[in-house]
Amino acid sequence: MIKAAKKEKVLVRVQINGKFYEEEAEPRKLLSDFLREECGLTGTHVGCEHGVCGACTIRYNGAAVRSCLMFAVQAMDAEITTVEGLAQDGTRHPLQEAFTECHGLQCGFCTPGILMSALEFLEDHPNPKTEEIKEMLSGHLCRCTGYKGIIEAIEKVARQQNG
Amino acid sequence: MKPASFNYYRPSTLKEALQLLQKYGDEGKLIAGGQSLIPILNMRLSAPEYLIDISGLQDLNFIRVEDGLLKIGGLCRQRSLEQSSIVKEVAPLLVEAVPFIGHVQTRNRGTVGGSLVHADPTAEIPLSLLALDAKVVIQSIGEVREVPVQDFFITYLTTDISPSEMLTEIHVPVDANPRGYAFVEFSRRHGDFALVAAGCLLDTDKEGRIISGRLTLGGVAAVPMNAQDAIDILVGEKLSDSLLEEAGRIASENTDPEGDLHASREYRLHLAKVFTMRAIRKAYERSLKL
C-alpha cells in the first residue's frame, strides 16, 4: 500500500521518453504539472485542467490519456511518452514533419496533445478513414487551424506508413 | 485549477481497500479512472479528506462469461469494453453505447464501475445496463450484496451505495438467443453529455412480430428511465409507422425532463420521442436479420 498525508511528498518514479525520473510530489499534484514543473518537460501543455481541451494528452503505458486527469502519485512505475519523446537524434517524427508541411498548427498550443493522440491512433488504425480521424480529434480543441490541416497531416503519415 | 489537499491511500488488495472505506468512507472518496472525479476535484466542487485509489486492484479488471452471466469487473476500462470481442458477441448494445462516452482519451482511463457509481442521468453505461437488466455487486467488510441496476440509481449522482461500500462487479444476463439492439444518442457535439439517449432490445418471432423488449432513456429524468410502457404496446405486433409513432409518444409522455441551458424541457420531450422511435426501429430491423 502506498500512503501519503496531505502535504507529504512522495517520491514518484516514472520512465519518461525512455529515461528514468525520480521526483517528489504531493498527492494532489496533477501528472501534467508534475511533468512540467518537476521533470522540466514543458512540451506537455496545460489548458482547461478538466479533461476537455486535450492539450495535456500524453501516452501512458501506450494509451493516449489526459495528464490533467491523473495524479502524479498514480503514475508510479509507469512508462510515459510526451511530445519531447517524438524526435529522434534531432530528426523530427514523421507526424511532426507532416504537421509542418500541411499547416496542421498555427500557435502550437494544442499540438503536443494532438500528436500524442495521433500516434496511438495510427497504431490502431493503419488505414484510417477521415471520419475516424475526426472522431479521434473530437477529444482535442484547436482554435487556430480549423482542423483541416491536422486531418491532412495525419492522412499523409498514414499514406507514408503504407508505403 | 488545482485540487485541495487530500490524504492519499493506494491499497494493493480489495480487503485493504474495504478496510480503508470502513474507516474513512464518510470523509473519503474512491478514485478509479478519475475521469469524472478529477474534474470535480480540480474545480473544487468536492474536497474529500481522504482519497482511496483503487486503480491498482487489477483483480477487479476483467471481462468474462461465467454461469450464464457476462461478468465485468468494476475497474474494467471503458476502452476495454468497447474493444472486447466477448462483449460484442453477448452484449453488443454496450459496444454500441461506449463510443458515445467522452473521447477515446478519456475512455482509456474511465472505468465501467466509475460510470455507474457517478450516476450521471445522461450516462451511457447506466442506461445500457438498465436495458440489459444487469445487477451490480456491492461489497463492504463482511458483506456482499447484489442490487438490480433498476434499483441502484436513486437520483442525480446518487446511488444505493453507502460510504463504506464499493461496487466490484457487474453481472449481465446472457441471452440464450441474440436480440435486436440499438443505442442512439443526441448531443450538441460528439463527446458532450447526451441531451437524450435511448437503448433498446427487441425479440421478434419468425413472422416479425415483437415478442418482448426493453427500452431505456437517459437525460429525461433524474435517473436512467425504464420506458416499458412504450414496448408493451408493441408486443404481439409487427412494427408499423403508426405503432412506432405511438410508442414514441408514450415514452415521451412518461418522461419528466428538466430544462437547462443545453436544452429546454420541450426540446427534451421532443428528443425523447424521436430517439425512442429511432432506437426501436433500429433494434427491430436488426432483430429481423437474426
Convert the pLDDT of each residue in B252-266 to its tens digit.
999 999 999 999 999
What is the average pLDDT score of chain B? Answer: 97
Q: Which residues of B touch A125 (CB under 8 A)?
A: none
Q: Which residues of B touch A66 (CB under 8 A)?
A: 35, 105-106, 109
> What's the CA gap between B228 and A107, in Å, rounded?
52
List beta partners, residue B63. B72
Closest Cβ–Cβ partner in A3, A50, A64 for B104: A64
The helix/strand/coil state of A53 is coil
Whether residue B42 lies within 8 A of chain A, CB to CB, comes out as yes
The helix/strand/coil state of A79 is strand
Residue among A57, A59, A65 with most chain B CBs within 10 A, to mutate: A65
User: Does A2 contact B10 at a Cβ distance shorter than 8 Å?
Assistant: yes
User: Does B34 contact A135 at a Cβ distance shorter than 8 Å?
Assistant: no
Say yes or no to pLDDT of B140 above 90: yes
SS3 string, chain B, reads CCCCCCEEEECCCHHHHHHHHHHHHHHEEEECCCCCHHHHHHCCCCCCCEEEECCCCHHHCCEEEECCEEEEECCCEHHHHHHCHHHHHHCHHHHHHHHHCCCHHHHCCCEHHHHHHHCCCCCHHHHHHHHCCCEEEEEECCEEEEEEHHHHEEECCEECCCCCCEEEEEEEECCCCCCEEEEEEECCCCCCCCCEEEEEEEEECCCCEEEEEEEEEECCCCCCEECHHHHHCCCCCECCHHHHHHHHHHHHHCCCCCCCCCCCHHHHHHHHHHHHHHHHHHHHHHHHCC
Say yes or no to pLDDT of B190 above 90: no
What is the reported pLDDT for B177? 86
What is the reported pLDDT for B75? 98
The mean pLDDT of A111-128, rounded to a whole number, is 97
Confidence band of B183 (pLDDT split at 50, 70, 90): very high
CB B83 within 8 A of CB B182: no
User: What are the backbone angles phi and psi of residue B246, rounded to the nearest 5°?
Assistant: -65, -40
Closest chain A residue to B44, measured at CA: A50
Alpha-carbon gap: B281 to the closest alpha carbon of chain A (Å): 25
User: Does B9 contact A1 at a Cβ distance shorter than 8 Å?
Assistant: yes
Model pLDDT for residues A67-117, shown as the tens digit of each residue: 999 999 999 999 999 999 999 999 999 999 999 999 999 999 999 999 999
Alpha-carbon gap: B263 to the closest alpha carbon of chain A (Å): 20
Q: What percent of chain A has pLDDT over 90?
A: 98
The mean pLDDT of B133-150, rounded to a whole number, is 97
Q: Which amino acid is at A86?
A: L
Closest chain B residue to A10, measured at CA: B8
User: Does B2 contact A69 at a Cβ distance shorter than 8 Å?
Assistant: no
Q: What percent of chain A has pLDDT over 70?
A: 100
User: Does A64 contact B38 at a Cβ distance shorter than 8 Å?
Assistant: no
> What's the CA gap between A21 and A39, in Å, rounded?
7
User: Does B2 contact A30 at a Cβ distance shorter than 8 Å?
Assistant: yes
Alpha-carbon gap: B65 to the closest alpha carbon of chain A (Å): 26
pTM over 0.80: yes
Q: Which residues of A touch B106 (CB under 8 A)?
A: 51, 65-66, 69, 139
Say yes or no to pLDDT of B235 above 90: yes
Sheet holding B180-186, edge to edge: B180-186, B196-204, B210-218, B225-226
Question: Residue B246, Cβ neighbours under 10 Å: how many?
Answer: 15
Confidence band of A23 (pLDDT split at 50, 70, 90): very high
What is the reported pLDDT for B78? 98
Q: Which residues of A touch B44 (CB under 8 A)?
A: none
Model pLDDT for residues B163-178, shown as the tens digit of each residue: 999 999 999 999 888 9
- In this structure, what is the dihedral angle of CA atoms B15, B17, B19, B22, given to the nearest 10 degrees? -140
CA B67 vs. chain centroid, Å, equals 22
